[in-house]
Amino acid sequence: MFGYFRFFLATLVVISHLGITFEGANPGVAAVVCFYMLAGFVVSHLFLKVFISQKPLYLRFYYERALRIFPLYLFVAAITLIFIIVTGFGSAEFGIKTLVNNLLIIPLNYYMVLDNAILQDPKWWLIPPAWSLGVELQAYLLLPFIVYFKGVKIVLAVISLTVFSMASLGVIDSDYFGYRLLIGVLFLFILGVSISKSIADANKADLFDRYFPAFVYAYLILLLIISGLYETLHYPYVRETIFGVLLGMPTIIYLSKSKVTLPLNSLLGEFSYGIFLSHFLMIWIVEFYSLVDKSTHIFLYVLLIFLASLLLSIVGVFMLERSVKKYRILLGR
């Protein structure tokens, strides 16, 4: 069922970038928050079920995650770069430094602090949503230590939740520290780890993993109330991130325990990443060639971009991802 959930989350990201909101709230933000929790859940599962060894298999894990993130990303980025070079879209000029930043992904997460005006302009990002992949890649560097060492997990969870709380209450920038930078959202990845461990074997899970999800849920409800009283809910992405956790956490728990099987679940899960990566390219293509007037045909506009993103995702999955996946599976043996 996680395949359907991932596909739904990717759809929310797409429609959010098309300017569609729900009561003024950005659905894509809540979706990204859920992706963070899912990433922690998956990593914990990998170490508990796949990378089973007497000692932590850090390098093998990092290699497996790189194969998960980079091949399809580079595929879409290359197509996007060709489109920009051929059409001159956005008047962007990709120098070596800018290309390296795009290829490494992680620098995109720090666009707000790097002294690089080009990097701060989304038109010079081959894949604008890739800043969140930068968060994910950084989390992957830490998650093996979080999974294996209880002390590291507790300390990082406390620090991250504290930073997130300060951002939600307007003490520090709510956009950067409550949504975009790892220090404020790392607890969401840890939350996914705790959910995975407590569900896999509640008897073996430590006290932190058993009670951290319930604590966070209750704490965020309280934080939501306090944010409302202090009128910080309208700050950038405060309500979206909190509601994303409050709605996403029980969904992940339910799906992880569900015995229901539906056709196409695995396939939709594979397509979701490609949709996430390619929809901005499709927005730019539709915009450059004036294929559909958004102001008069909004439904057709949304449908065209979504279907085109899905098509490119399908091509990427069957031409590239399926071959790469074989090596990822071999790493777990």
- Pairwise CA distance, residues 35 & 189, whole Å: 9
| Three-class secondary structure of residue 25 per DSSP | strand
pTM of the model: 0.94
* Token pair for 293: 């007037």
> Each residue of 39-55: pLDDT tens digit?
999 988 888 776 665 56
Per DSSP, the three-state class of 201 is coil
Angle between the N-to-C axes of helices 182-200 and 238-257, in degrees from 0 to 180, rounded to the nearest 10: 20
Q: Quote the pLDDT of residue 123.
A: 59
State pLDDT tens for residues 234-269.
Answer: 999 999 999 999 999 999 999 999 888 889 999 999
pLDDT digits (tens, 9 = 90+) for 80-94: 999 999 998 877 777
Structure tokens belonging to residue 249:
């956490």
d(CA 83, CA 171): 42
**Domain spans of the chain?**
2-331
Two structure tokens written together for 73 = 């990303």
